[in-house]
Amino acid sequence: MARTPKQPPAPKAKSASRPAAAKPKAGQKRSTRSSSVAPPSQKAELDAAVDKLARRFTHNREKAGEYGRESALSPAEGAHADTPDLIAASTVSEANRGDKTGSRAGSGDSPGSASLDRVRTDAQGQRLTTNQGVAIADNQNSLKAGMRGPALLKDFILREKITHFDHERIPERIVHARGSGAHGFFEAYDSLRAITRAAPFARAGKITPVFVRFSTVAGERGSKDTARDVRGFAVKFYTDEGNWDLVGNNIPVFFIQDAMKFPDLVHAVKPEPHHAMPQAASAHDTFWDFVSLMPESTHMLMWVMSDRAIPRSYRMMQGFGVHTFRLVNEDGEATLCKFHWAPKLGTHSLTWDEAVKISGCDPDYHRRDLWEAIESGAYPEYELSVQLFSEAQAAKFSFDVLDSTKIVPEELVPLTPVGRLVLNRNPDNFFAETEQVAFCAAHVVPGIDFTNDPLLAGRIHSYVDTQLSRLGGPNFHEIPINAPVAPVQNNQRDGLHRQAIHRGRVAYEPNSLGGGCPFQAGAAGFVSFPEPVRADELRAKPEKFAEHYNQATLFYASQSPIEKAHIIAAFRFELSKVMVPAIRARVVSMLANVAPDLAAGVADGLGIKVPDAMPRAIARTPRAEVKQSPTLSLLARPGELGIQTRKIAVLVAPGVEAVSLRKVGDRLVAAGATVRLVGPRVGPIALSDGSVVEAEASLENEPSVLFDALVLPDGEAAVARLASDGRVAEYIKDQYRHCKPILVVGASRSLLEGIGASTVLADGSEDAGIVLATSKELPDAVERFVEAIAAHRHWQRETDRPLV
């Protein structure tokens, strides 16, 4: 900027041009900052040290390295020198220790990167105080002029308490508002050095701390857990080279191909703007209007209408990075990559009727399940696998790997397991951790890079942008749950809620006054993969993106008959809630491009004819490489942990046969299940032998849908008591209708018969999910029951129109 001639030169420019000899004499004022605090001898020492350090930086030696391709691929480390402590300081008075100030930061200190212990607080044995640390004498009454007099404005204690309360809420996430989190760790199976220099994969057995947040997408923060929806599966890896966030979903594809459409998608699925309904549901006009005009969403719709969108538990669903990423090794060689998480417990879902009922009796169903599993020591575990492929391979696929509406079928590129994720600690405080955590698709570390997926490009921008307002300013990376364990040192300063107290006067680079620190890391830091870009600037998509149905057909074709039936039923339900007939017909015309029986089934459910198939956006459909992919079925992953953590209800009433009750309970607990005695009310229940057990739950407070299996025990008196309660029939009906295993012992057979349930399937075979036994036959029968629970659901029992 030009100066007027009378304006004095900037002090920095003046001192920079002053020769070293112009050092002020002892006692002479050079600046208020230094002369007012430093004793003369120390100040002279400081001045000399500063000058000596600055002389080592005769010029910016790295400048030449800012130019040219070689420098870009292998940037040089920034020039730096050891800085004498005196110079690194903001002030020479830092040696004056105080209870509040402490003394000084050690060289390179970054206390924000220490474990969360540094911010955990505990009030045991402590007095109540204000936020200023003043002990509060009376927390019951506001300050008044006389017992019956007016409250006084000077009551700073009341005002502080109410003011803080008034500001307790922050904006919820614009999407994925409802979620639950947990801490844990990732353990690498092997070194992936040949493929990537990413820190978590550096060597076999390497442990990286993580925080994971699972979520629904559409509902508000207080909405139900069991909505039909995509689930977020976001993992923050606190690596020793900075935070890497793998912000994925439990479905490997997405609705749209380009970030430009994300706000439209979200506006369409969120409650309609005029009356703010429906909450946490896609079954309404605007969603189906939008997606039926966006045929690229067809593949995703198949997944969202499948049972994947109503998982039994966060612990029993897969996770996917969705986009194609790039892994980069030390030599700068890149491999394309898709990320997959698979739960050790297998993939299991609810039925729709069950999900609807659970949302009424326990809207926190998934949150509670995750919390209770971790508290009980049954730590959820997932295996991370990668699909690795080259650009050349990708170029040959019939679809584009930059298109997030496509998977790379496992038949084309197999999965390579690379490590495991274990969630072993619940947060101490939901708000401080789960609510304030800020995942970001842009958070990558050296060794992991983006591709040109146009959806990913929008995400790289969106997360930090939204978090600026959600978390109130640019320093939310300092909130403890977001702070990396890797040291953070840069020249960013100030802003709302700044926590770090930066030592020293240098907040720029290059510098000589801070010995060049913090200096650029050069090739040791994040170096973007140098993907060649030579093209016109366009608003368009590649031709391959125009094929919208092949993988929807693949998904549908890979489902078991029961899963296909569920998909048809889900479309039927959702579209029955759409009030505009033209939109219903439009969706069915899309489905006609996927599979004739799918379109016919949905049309039949809506009482309409199958319309003509929607015209395709591509002139000639490329031939799909894969026609069947068995692992796309949820049933492909039954899990390897038997009945561990399954919740089993045992109905009890006075007079339950004691011996059989104990036998069943002991065996189920030994197999790792959680057994609850459910009575007509909670409290003590006398057994047939006079002993007493405690009913932990009641028919009203823990309805049948909250359990994976049911035991109806023996004992004439107990059965008579249960039969007299209308809720018992509902209890059994729901278990039966939802295809869950039921163990029926002795006299309780009449309860099962009472609801008209058959133990024989439509094809005449025995229903393996219903185990009938006398008390004497129990040991064997319980083993069969355990097997039946491990199978999760007995779908053979299901009929589209429930018979019971």
Catalytic machinery residues: 176, 249
E strand residue ranges, 614-706: 647-651, 674-679, 683-686, 692-695, 697-698
Measured from the CB atom, is 72 or 170 closer to ligand HEM? 170
> Rule CB under 6 A: which of 203-232 touch ligand HEM?
213, 215, 232
User: Minimum distance from CB of 429 to ligand HEM (Å)?
Assistant: 16
* Binding of ligand HEM by 253 (CB under 6 A): no
Contacting residue, 87, 227, 401, 455, with ligand HEM by CB under 6 A = 455
E strand residue ranges, 189-270: 207-216, 231-239, 242-249
Residues 6+ apart with CB under 8 A from 668: 643, 648, 675, 711, 782, 785, 786
Contact letters for ligand HEM, residues 395-414 (x by CB under 6 A):
---------x----------
Contacting residue, 216, 239, 249, 349, with ligand HEM by CB under 6 A = 249
Is 201 assigned to a binding site?
no
User: Minimum distance from CB of 467 to ligand HEM (Å)?
Assistant: 5
Task: Determine contact, residues 418/188, Cβ cutoff 8 Å.
Answer: yes
* Binding segment toward ligand HEM, per CB under 6 A, in 193-201, 451-459, 500-508, 571-579: 451-459
Task: Determine contact, residues 253/404, Cβ cutoff 8 Å.
Answer: yes
* Binding of ligand HEM by 462 (CB under 6 A): yes
Report how far residue 345's alpha carbon sits from residue 566's, in angstroms, rounded to the nearest whole number. Answer: 22
Question: How many residues would you count in the chain?
Answer: 804
Q: Helix 561-576 vs helix 581-591: angle between axes, to the nearest 10 degrees?
A: 160
Is 503 assigned to a binding site?
no
Cis peptide before 518 (omega within 30 of 0): yes
* Binding segment toward ligand HEM, per CB under 6 A, in 254-262, 655-663, 673-681, 696-704: 254-262
Report how far residue 73's alpha carbon sits from residue 75's, in angstroms, rounded to the nearest whole number. Answer: 6
User: Minimum distance from CB of 207 to ligand HEM (Å)?
Assistant: 23
Binding-site size for ligand HEM (CB under 6 A) equals 27
* Binding of ligand HEM by 458 (CB under 6 A): yes
* Binding of ligand HEM by 430 (CB under 6 A): no
CA 722-728-734 angle, 5° bins: 155
Measured from the CB atom, is 179 or 363 closer to ligand HEM? 179
E strand residue ranges, 267-380: 319-320, 325-328, 334-343
Contacting residue, 57, 262, 371, 529, with ligand HEM by CB under 6 A = 262
User: Minimum distance from CB of 552 to ligand HEM (Å)?
Assistant: 17
* Binding segment toward ligand HEM, per CB under 6 A, in 137-145, 175-183, 370-378, 781-789: 175-183
* Binding of ligand HEM by 173 (CB under 6 A): yes
* Binding segment toward ligand HEM, per CB under 6 A, in 46-54, 466-474, 739-747, 760-768: 466-474
Is 797 assigned to a binding site?
no
Measured from the CB atom, is 253 or 778 closer to ligand HEM? 253
* Binding of ligand HEM by 466 (CB under 6 A): yes
> Rule CB under 6 A: which of 508-527 touch ligand HEM?
none
E strand residue ranges, 138-295: 179-188, 207-216, 231-239, 242-249
Contacting residue, 105, 438, 483, 603, with ligand HEM by CB under 6 A = 438
Report how far residue 528's alpha carbon sits from residue 545's, in angstroms, rounded to the nearest whole number. Answer: 26
Closest CB to ligand HEM: residue number:
232
Measured from the CB atom, is 248 or 611 closer to ligand HEM? 248
* Binding of ligand HEM by 259 (CB under 6 A): yes
Task: Give the H/E segment covering residue 723.
Answer: helix 716-723
Report how far residue 653's alpha carbon sits from residue 718's, in angstroms, rounded to the nearest whole number. Answer: 5
Is 213 assigned to a binding site?
yes
- From residue 92, how far is each of 175, 503, 505 by CA, in Å? 49, 11, 12
* Binding of ligand HEM by 309 (CB under 6 A): no
For residue 613, the SS3 value is coil
Amino acid symbol at 235: V
Is 178 assigned to a binding site?
no
Tokens linked to 418: 């690379």
Contacting residue, 200, 219, 242, 248, with ligand HEM by CB under 6 A = 248
Task: Tell the burial category of 92 from Cβ atoms under 10 Å away from its Cβ (0-12, 13-18, 19+).
Answer: middle
* Binding of ligand HEM by 721 (CB under 6 A): no
E strand residue ranges, 165-268: 179-188, 207-216, 231-239, 242-249
User: Minimum distance from CB of 259 to ligand HEM (Å)?
Assistant: 3
Report how far residue 772's alpha carbon sits from residue 768's, in angstroms, rounded to the nearest whole number. Answer: 10
Is 238 assigned to a binding site?
no
Of the candidates 53, 362, 325, which has an alpha carbon nearest to the alpha carbon of residue 201? 325
Name the site residues for ligand HEM (rule: CB under 6 A): 173-176, 179, 213, 215, 232, 234, 247-249, 254, 259, 262, 322, 404, 438-439, 455, 458-459, 462-463, 466-467, 470
Annotation: binding site for heme: 173, 213, 262, 459, 463, 470
Annotation: binding site: 173, 213, 262, 459, 463, 470
